[in-house]
Amino acid sequence: MSTKPKQPAPIHEDLGMHTDLVYMCLPLIAMAVCFYGIRVALLCGTAVITANLCDRLVALLRRQKYEKGEWSSEAFALLLTLLMPATVSYYVVIVGVLAAVLLAKEAFGGYGAYPFHPAAVGYAVVAVSWPEQVFAYPQPNLFASLPLGSTKGVALVEGPSHILRNGGLPTISTMDLARGNYAGPMGATMLLVILACALFLLHRRRIGVAAPLCFVGACLLVAFLFPRLGDVAWSMPWSHLAERLAAAKYEVGSGGILYAAVFLINDPATLPKNKVSRAVYGLVLGVVAMMFRYYGSYETGVCFALLAVNSVSGWIDRAILRAMNRKGVVRREA
């Protein structure tokens, strides 16, 4: 029997993950269509077509064969679009996808070579450029339809993050919060569907548990210990328990925290390779995400936090491995 050490799997073996991500976006799209109408499907279709054309153009310019089985750009396009409101303009989606695919992915060499998550880059670009479109949401209405074209006449409201930012608590029931029956991003509010997708991806071994659990745990801990509720944050942790628990529920249940935990932070190109490093990565990302929510200029700061922590992902991996080697811990790749 051969004693050669097992070589790490090439990055292209992770391509199936993005195929599964595309499939897992479909139930989110279906729920969003129920709430907002066919406009959601048109926005997502526009995003996918734009991403596909970008890949074909890059392959042509590089004189390479277009890889039909490589669905990462389509996955990034859908993940980006589902983070935006259903009233967003089509050109905003197109610009976001162009930034995600051409700027964040292909400019660094294509699949597996990008240091920052492409969907987060695309979201950051459109959030900074058109905040009035990205952070204002229509109220969901089951089996109602938004206009397919201009949505200038649609009434828009702020999301739960705006209420939390101003020191209040939303009045959304737990059931509505779980079903996504409140004003927010068209695909990031349906917590029950997101959790079901997480179970499927875990079963398929497309995502791990270390980084997502540590990320959500850090967000919960910060929200519980330091709620944005005036003097409550400066009282003892065991006082005002009801208010603290409510604040933690709304902080983590809204703003794309669980959506990011399932769909964004597990990308194999930006995630550390070691299990311990992934746990540390998740903890750091959770704290940074809450700091962006608390002190950032934009209410939904998880994508900005992801970009910030992506920049030190490799350093975290190397630092943890050096520490483990110094202590004689056997290094095991995830």
Q: Which pLDDT score is estimated for 41?
A: 96
Task: Kindly report, residue by residue over 159-202, the tens digit of the pLDDT.
Answer: 888 888 888 888 888 899 999 999 999 999 999 999 999 999 99
Q: Is 6 contained in some domain?
A: no
CB atoms within 10 A of CB 13: 10
Q: Is 89 contained in some domain?
A: yes
> Does pLDDT of 152 surpass 90?
no
DSSP H helices in the chain: 15-36, 39-61, 72-81, 90-98, 118-129, 131-134, 160-165, 174-179, 191-203, 210-225, 241-253, 257-263, 275-295, 302-310, 313-326
> Does pLDDT of 122 surpass 50?
yes
Average pLDDT of 245-263? 91
Percent of the chain with pLDDT over 70: 93
Q: Is 208 contained in some domain?
A: yes
Task: Kindly report, residue by residue over 4-56, the tens digit of the pLDDT.
Answer: 443 333 444 466 889 999 999 999 999 999 999 999 999 999 999 999 999 99
Report the half-sphere exposure of 323 (CA within 13 A, side-chain side): 10
> Does pLDDT of 103 surpass 70?
yes
Q: Is 1 contained in some domain?
A: no
Q: Is 334 contained in some domain?
A: no
Q: Is 2 contained in some domain?
A: no
Domains contained in the chain, number: 1
* Bridge partner residues of 284 (DSSP): none
Q: What is the pTM of this model?
A: 0.89
CB-CB contact of 117 with 98 (8 Å): no
Domain that holds residue 78: 13-326
Q: Is 3 contained in some domain?
A: no
The structure tokens listed for 240 are 């005002």
> Does pLDDT of 203 surpass 50?
yes
Q: Distance (Å, rounded) from C-alpha 264 to C-alpha 70? A: 18
Percent of the chain with pLDDT over 90: 59
